Chains A and B, each alone.
Chain A
Amino acid sequence: MSDERMSPGWPIVARKEFTDHLYSGRFVALLAVLSLAGAGAVFAASTGIRSIAPQTVGIPALFLRLFTVTADPVPFALVVFIAFLGPLLGIMFGFDAISGERNQRTLPRLVAQPIHRDDVINGKFVGGLGIVTVVFVALTLFVAGIGIFRLGVVPTPAELARLGVWVLAAIVYVGFWLALAMLFSVVVRRSATSAIVGVSIWLGLALFGNLIARLAARLLAPSGPGSALAEARLETILARISPITLFSEASSALLDPTVRTTGVVTLAQLDRAVISNLSLAQSLLVVWPQLVTLVAYTVICFGLAYWAFMRQEVRA
């Protein structure tokens, strides 16, 4: 039997990885947390929307407001929540991808089967992405279901399309964290250490990312006339290094057709602007750089993990 006649190995690894995650305690726990928080957020949002809906006829993409509106008593909108907790999802499904195989001493046995070495890491990434997709699709449908029930509004095809693109963006976003966690699982021997490193980066960026960007902008921006604007622009650019910012900006434009820019806007620029809704294609155009950067981040991270894994000895 020659190599060419054998079916590829990564789907077998991916399938096993997917099944393992599906039956794992962490999946159940995560789904429970996400569902509860999602239900809470959307319930509050729908209550808020209901109270204002009678006075404001013709809110564009009313249904999508479910995901973006903050209302008492839940202190965050669903998208903010996803931007914050999405990394945890990626880290949880990736932090022990390779180190777990090493700790359980299954790696030599696995690579001695008729698969290529990269089938292992490719399969694990695909399996992880698969489970993330399941989580997001389930969560979105769940939230949409509650929304339809509470609002009595059925999403239009245009809204569904926006929602679909947003779910894709969310998967890429979590894919980045999955790839990052897998990179640590290759480089760091102990699963616990790998998890801690991943979580530290996540919390550091989520809690202090904007603060750091602001401080750095203040230090670096030139002084003199117009410095406030320069500083604000610099801060935006620096904040965009963080994938969390990138995803938040992408979400805001994808879910809200009235969002026309994600950068710094001066009053002069708004003067005599015609307020109109953007089409999905135009919204995509607004956050295209953010989306492309997210994809690039993911590819780079996975590439590094791949490269590090291929160079490692099977033993040790």
Chain B
Amino acid sequence: MSAVIEARGLTKRYGDTVAVDGLDLEIGRGEVFGLLGPNGAGKTTTILMLLGLTEPTEGTVRVLGLDPARDPLAVKRRVGYLPDAVGFYEGLSGRENLRYTARLNRMDPTEAEERIDVLLERVGLADAADRPAGTYSRGMLQRLGIADALVKDPEVLILDEPTAAIDPEGVSEMLGLIRTLATEQGVTQLISSHHLQQVQEVCDRVAIFVSGRIIAAGTTHELALAGTGPERLELRIDGDREDLVRALEGVDGVEEIRRGRRPGSWEVVLERAATGDAVRALVTGGVEVLELRRASEELDEIYHRYFQEVNADVG
């Protein structure tokens, strides 16, 4: 697998503050990579360095084998970018905005016109295409932003918070689009987000990015296993805490039974090895289990865990 995006020891300092600290990154062709982290973690700065829009203080970047700082136009011609909280010229219609992007990419006008029609249809803006962008809702702007990033028919797509401000239905459409682009057109995608649940669904790999550093990277499954802490089971049962305690009494390794984060749920903290025994005990113990899931497998759990670890290190 040849790396489409490659960063080695990438560092960006603004005065004394370190925005990005020795980042190493490798993303292969057709891969969907999620860069996850809280606001201010350095995600956008990283993206700007990948696009050659800001120069790294140290380290190297290669996008499609090119150095964005030396060959910015060639990189930007082949990389589509959806900025965080994207904006459009309010006086121009959605279509005119995309037309400008097409011109800036030196596209053939006839070809561009066809492509713009297809893309507007694809993001569900065909009806609103000729209205001024100033009248668009935040979600519509976001969808127009996706179309805008795709106008140039990019080989690489960089999406900064693509699902922000979109309604749930829009989010699933957007995620579907991301998946389709990856599988059918082999578009390499880097998605930055703090919406972990959403991103988790479509990413082949994720990296957790906190305070300018990647603190963990891999598939979501790998990240879950890499954890050293106890397993957490989240349960909804037809019954109360007493039923749970009774059923799990005989299981070794159960550390705690407490209220879960969701209303009406319970959380069982236990050693990893004890998971199977605990589930068996629940069933044989006659507890009516309505729902059961491994809380630690969810990406936001992983993320919170790592985030706490980093904070603990710093503190």
CA of A191 to CA of B128, assembled, Å:
28
- From A25, which residue of chain B is reached at the shortest CB distance? B91
What's the dominant secondary structure at chain A's contact region? loop
Contact A113 B83 (CB under 8 A): no
Which of B71, B73, B83, B106 contacts A109, CB < 8 Å? Answer: B83
- From A108, which residue of chain B is reached at the shortest CB distance? B83
Which of B45, B76, B100, B145 contacts A16, CB < 8 Å? Answer: B100
Contact B74 A3 (CB under 8 A): yes
- Determine, out of B47-55, B113-121, B255-263, the stretch whose residues face the partner at the interface: B47-55
Instruction: Point out the residues of chain A lying under 8 angstroms from B101, CB to CB.
Output: 109, 113
Which of B45, B78, B81, B88 contacts A106, CB < 8 Å? Answer: B88
Which of B45, B81, B152 has the largest number of chain A CB atoms within 10 A?
B81
Instruction: Point out the residues of chain B lying under 8 angstroms from A12, CB to CB.
Output: 103-104
CA of A112 to CA of B72, assembled, Å:
9
Q: Does A111 contact B (CB under 8 A)?
A: yes
Instruction: Point out the residues of chain A lying under 8 angstroms from B229, CB to CB.
Output: none
Contact B73 A315 (CB under 8 A): no
Instruction: Point out the residues of chain A lying under 8 angstroms from B44, CB to CB.
Output: 315
Instruction: Point out the residues of chain B lying under 8 angstroms from A6, CB to CB.
Output: 73, 77, 106
- From A103, which residue of chain B is reached at the shortest CB distance? B87
Number of interface residues of A (CB under 8 A): 27
CA of A313 to CA of B54, assembled, Å:
7
Instruction: Point out the residues of chain B lying under 8 angstroms from A20, CB to CB.
Output: 89, 91-92
Number of interface residues of B (CB under 8 A): 34
- From A106, which residue of chain B is reached at the shortest CB distance? B87
- Minimum C-beta distance from B255 to chain A (A): 45
Instruction: Point out the residues of chain A lying under 8 angstroms from B81, CB to CB.
Output: 108-109, 112
Q: Does A48 contact B (CB under 8 A)?
A: no
- Knowing A16-B100, A109-B83, A113-B101, the reply to whether A3 touches B89 (Cβ < 8 A) is no
Contact B87 A111 (CB under 8 A): no
CA of A60 to CA of B91, assembled, Å:
49
CA of A105 to CA of B83, assembled, Å:
9
Instruction: Point out the residues of chain B lying under 8 angstroms from A9, CB to CB.
Output: 104
Q: Does B85 contact A (CB under 8 A)?
A: yes
- Minimum C-beta distance from A216 to chain B (A): 42
Instruction: Point out the residues of chain A lying under 8 angstroms from B104, CB to CB.
Output: 9, 12-13, 110, 113-115
Name A36-94 residues within 8 Å CB distance of B: none
- From A9, which residue of chain B is reached at the shortest CB distance? B104
Instruction: Point out the residues of chain A lying under 8 angstroms from B74, CB to CB.
Output: 1-3, 114
CA of A16 to CA of B91, assembled, Å:
12
Name A106-141 residues within 8 Å CB distance of B: 106, 108-116
Contact B77 A314 (CB under 8 A): no
Instruction: Point out the residues of chain B lying under 8 angstroms from A106, CB to CB.
Output: 87-89
Which of A2, A12, A16, A112 has the largest number of chain B CB atoms within 10 A?
A112
CA of A20 to CA of B90, assembled, Å:
11
Instruction: Point out the residues of chain A lying under 8 angstroms from B91, CB to CB.
Output: 20, 24
Contact B87 A105 (CB under 8 A): yes
Q: Does B86 contact A (CB under 8 A)?
A: yes
- From A2, which residue of chain B is reached at the shortest CB distance? B74
CA of A15 to CA of B81, assembled, Å:
23
Q: Does A104 contact B (CB under 8 A)?
A: yes
Name B46-102 residues within 8 Å CB distance of A: 48, 51, 53-54, 71-74, 76-79, 81, 83-92, 100-101
CA of A142 to CA of B312, assembled, Å:
75
- Minimum C-beta distance from B107 to chain A (A): 11
- From B85, which residue of chain A is reached at the shortest CB distance? A105
Map CB proximity to B onto A2-39 as digits: 1 under 8 Å, 0 otherwise: 11001101001101100010001000000000000000
Q: Does B161 contact A (CB under 8 A)?
A: no
- Minimum C-beta distance from A64 to chain B (A): 40
Sample of 7 more A-B contacts, CB < 8 Å, known A110-B104, A314-B54: A1-B77, A6-B73, A13-B104, A20-B89, A109-B148, A112-B76, A114-B72
Would you give 17 A-B contacts (Cβ < 8 Å), ordered by A? A3-B71, A3-B72, A16-B103, A104-B87, A104-B88, A105-B85, A106-B87, A108-B53, A109-B86, A112-B51, A112-B53, A112-B76, A112-B83, A114-B72, A115-B73, A313-B54, A314-B53
